[in-house]
A and B are shown apart, each in its own frame.
Chain A
Amino acid sequence: MMTQPSTARILDVVRQELAENVMPVTTDVQAQASLQMIDHILATVAVRVEHEIAWMVEEGDAIGALGDQIVTAEPQATGVATALAALRAAPLTSLHYDDVAARYSLAGEVLSCAFEDVPTDAPLRAALEAQLDQRMQHEVEIMGEFELVART
């Protein structure tokens, strides 16, 4: 399997080709808008292929650990306990995308339940907010600059 050039680098080349040789000769406004969208999508995909698997695994592990702390400190957090049990019942069996993404969704459910179960004045609330900010940081890194195209 060839790993060089990397997928991200190939996507960069595709974007450059579209920008320099396709966009300038495209006159249809709908097609121009599509090309702008495609360029943005390719930019996001380039970041995803570089980091997505690692970020999902890292976030999932951190949320699992946080879930353990919540279940110990907040006995009323039954939603978290149930979601955490589902996460623990689905150990990471491979680094193939579907396996990692399925487990990441289960971790997301733990985090969702935590916001519903953990009181806003509980000591663990700050850690919950930090975990959501971590997820936000990754999302923003993937999204990059974003402003809706073709709106005027």
Chain B
Amino acid sequence: MVDLESVRDRLGAFLQDQHGAPVEVADLEVLTGGYSLVTVAFTATTAEGSARYVLRTDPPSDAALTQSDRAQEAEVLAALTDAGTVPMPRLRWSDPTGDALGSPSLILDFVDGPQLLARLREVDDAELASLALQLAETIGTVHVAGNAAAPPSLARPTTWDDYVDGYIAGWRAVERDYPESDPFIRWVADWLDGHRPPPAPLTLVHGEFQTGNVMLDSSGAMQVIDWEYAHIGDPRADLGWMQNVAAFTPPDPMAVDPVGFCRRYCEVTGLDEDIVNPSTVAWFTVAAGYKSMGALLQGIAAVATGDNHLITSAYLVSAMPFIHGLWRETVHALEADAAAARSTVEAAS
């Protein structure tokens, strides 16, 4: 449980230092929806007025589901805030070391609107289709603007092949580091290696793009949150990961009209439909997420060794069979599509 009194006191002192005058912190509310960080909404009031913000902070190390770098996230968010071209809440303050706030923390503008996932669950089919296309535009905008806006400190892969080699090696490393053999990971890494899609230009990738990490603001615009896994990579990784997560937490907005979704994304990004289409995205549905799933598996492994007592990690043991099943279905569907395409070509010739 979060000690909100302690959070309020630390925030008050921290913001007073930043502002140079008294700041009253009130209306603290723990936000659910994510598994990795503690997220608290609060109102800060100064002599000039009040505003609502969100604190993203690391949980205590023995209660951390996953590990990610708040300092790097702060650097990314600061660069994107300065650029002002990526749809996201502005970063206002950060404490990457946690010296002031007790653990590494970020403070961002609060988005006064529903999470997209919640909204998708209550709308009719027409609205769902409309929001899906808006989402394609939003992530397309992230990928177009993000390349220039990303901080220079983010590692840039030398080539697309190097980047994809990293994915495949990443999955193999995840399996190697887990306390028991997982034949599904070894099988899928081998399959990925032999069925690479055509390359796409590398750009800023959110790294954990999903409908739970998109907020609708009061104007109806989409704001992308939770950038802890941002990196330079293949933009289709975000689309694939979104579909992966949607299998756990439906609905999948791309599934409404996969071709139409990709077409709208291509219109925004200028990428060719040979590069971005449901089949190439499906490859990333399988490939994407070795960092997220690897972090999750680290947490589960820590439960096995007694270093982690999180109920969430124990619960997410079931995420692995789920994802194994998703991989099997996706790979079988892609192979059936490829076989059908070969038959068509043979019949025509």
Contact = CB atoms under 8 A, between A and B. Distances in A.
Verify that A and B bind, or say they do not. Answer: yes
Interface of A: 29-30, 33-34, 37-38, 40-41, 44, 101, 104-106, 108-109, 111-113, 115-116, 120, 132-133, 135-136, 139-140, 142-143, 146-152
Most chain B Cβ neighbours within 10 Å, of A38, A143, A147: A143
Contact of B249 (A33, A104, A147): A147
Contacts of B248: 146-148
**Closest 9 CB pairs between A and B?**
A108-B181, A139-B321, A112-B186, A37-B315, A105-B180, A111-B183, A152-B118, A109-B181, A115-B187
Dominant secondary structure at the A interface: helix
Contacts of B185: 112
A30 B2 CA distance: 10
Given A33-B32, A142-B321, 6 more contacts: A112-B183, A113-B186, A136-B324, A136-B328, A139-B324, A147-B249
Nearest to A109: B181
B182 A112 contact: yes
B182 A152 contact: no
B183 A146 contact: no
Interface of B: 1, 30, 32-33, 115, 117-118, 121, 175, 179-187, 190, 194, 212, 248-250, 311-312, 314-315, 317-322, 324-325, 328
A151 B249 contact: yes
A143 B186 contact: no
A51 B322 CA distance: 19
B187 A112 contact: yes
Most chain B Cβ neighbours within 10 Å, of A109, A150, A151: A151
B305 to A, nearest CB: 13
Contacts, number: 97
Contacts of A148: 248-249, 319
A16 to B, nearest CB: 19
B157 to A, nearest CB: 25
B32 A40 contact: no
Nearest to B332: A129
Given A37-B312, A115-B186, A152-B121, A105 B181 contact: yes
Contacts of B325: 136, 139-140
Given A30-B32, A33-B32, A108 B182 contact: yes
A41 B314 contact: yes
B311 A37 contact: yes
Contacts of A106: 181
Given A147-B248, A151-B249, A108 B315 contact: no
Contacts of A105: 179-181
